[in-house]
């Protein structure tokens, strides 16, 4: 069972969770995969249940470790690099950073461990957003498949001696037009220079300015054929599926979320990608869908997955 992009919507999370558990008890579903973007609700703060979803999901994974899987999404990514994520004038990240409180270390370790891709013996691969230009470069994609967030941040930290950091903080504040203490407080909920996370915003800004990070960002923020056109995007998808096939069953179809879908889904890239909307990306929201498929039965085209699309509002 595949679910995408819940963005802090507890009501939808609860519905999908309960449906899966019912199917699991009946032997009709063995695994539940979330393809990222559990975080960040744009509505009122009291409606944003991002942290509740994460904590509940972590507990569910502990109960059913072989049944619950979560992939990293672009809305989780900025928290790993201590950088803000915004849409227009709305900044998503501060609310979740403030909410973490005593759960921060546990949650951040969990986020850090989320994989980017999943693949199945059906030949159906899953990720959050889709293919991107770097997928046609074997070195770039190999780097991505063995990526370590911690290694990149530690590399940057080693390059910044303690005595150089005060000047760098001041310079960053000047560039952004906001004093560094305000940046740390606003975006990371850090209220004291004695906090060991005080320099995280600085480290994140430097880490994310590297060319390596550009490829990571492109992988999680790709807009598929809407950004690159049908022909170029098709070549990117071919390269991604070929790389994911190495040493395993041939991966022929990609399932993603990330982008808006009229009526809850869309088939793109010459019937090789199914884009799924399980939450706010479904237009209208009442059309949001989940996917059920048999990971042991070979799939050759995305359209073969359509019978497995389900309507959560009809189920519960």
DSSP letter, residue 2: E
pLDDT in tens, 253-263: 999 999 999 99
Q: If we measure between CA atoms, which residue out of 58, 151, 67 comes closest to residue 105?
A: 58
pLDDT in tens, 285-316: 999 999 999 999 999 999 999 999 999 887 55
Ordered by where they begin, the domains of the chain are 2-315 (3.60.21)
- At a CB cut-off of 8 Å and minimum separation 6, what does 71 contact? 33, 34, 35, 36, 114, 115, 116, 117, 118, 126, 127, 128
Q: Which residues of 268-303 are buried (b: 16+ CB within 10 A; e: fewer)?
A: bbeebbbbbbbbbbbeeeeebbbbbbebeeebeebe
> What end-to-end distance do the CA atoms of the chain give, in Å?
16
The answer, as to whether pTM is greater than 0.85, is: yes
The whole-number average pLDDT for the span 104-133 is: 97
pLDDT at 21: 97
Structure tokens at 143: 């780097």
pLDDT at 314: 74
The whole-number average pLDDT for the span 127-151 is: 93
């Amino acid at each position: 069972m595949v679910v995408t992009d819940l963005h802090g919507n507890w009501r939808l999370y609860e519905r999908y969770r309960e449906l899966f558990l019912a199917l699991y008890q009946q032997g009709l579903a063995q695994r539940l995969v979330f393809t990222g973007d559990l975080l960040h609700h744009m509505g009122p703060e009291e409606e944003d249940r991002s942290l509740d979803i994460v904590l509940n999901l972590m507990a569910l994974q502990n109960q059913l470790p072989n049944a619950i899987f979560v992939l990293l999404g672009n809305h989780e990514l900025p928290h790993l690099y201590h950088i803000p994520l915004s849409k227009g004038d709305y900044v998503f990240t501060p609310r979740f950073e403030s909410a973490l409180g005593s759960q921060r270390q546990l949650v951040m370790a969990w986020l850090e461990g989320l994989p980017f891709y999943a693949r199945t013996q059906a030949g159906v691969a899953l990720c959050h957003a889709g293919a991107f230009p770097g997928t046609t470069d074997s070195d770039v994609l190999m780097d991505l498949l063995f990526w370590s967030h911690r290694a990149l941040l530690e590399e940057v930290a080693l390059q910044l001696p303690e005595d150089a950091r005060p000047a760098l903080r001041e310079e960053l504040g000047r560039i952004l037009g906001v004093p560094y203490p305000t940046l740390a407080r606003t975006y990371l909920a850090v209220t004291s220079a004695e906090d060991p996370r005080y320099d995280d915003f600085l480290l994140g800004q430097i880490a994310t300015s590297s060319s390596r990070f550009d490829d990571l960002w492109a992988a999680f923020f790709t807009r598929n054929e809407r950004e690159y056109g049908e022909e170029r995007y098709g070549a990117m998808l071919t390269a991604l599926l070929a790389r994911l096939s190495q040493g395993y069953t041939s991966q022929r179809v990609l399932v993603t979320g990330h982008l808006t879908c009229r009526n809850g889904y869309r088939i793109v890239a010459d019937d090789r990608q199914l884009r799924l909307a399980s939450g706010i990306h479904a237009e209208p929201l009442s059309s949001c869908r989940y996917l059920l498929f048999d990971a042991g039965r070979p799939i050759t085209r995305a359209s073969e997955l359509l019978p497995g699309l389900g309507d959560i509002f009809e189920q519960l």
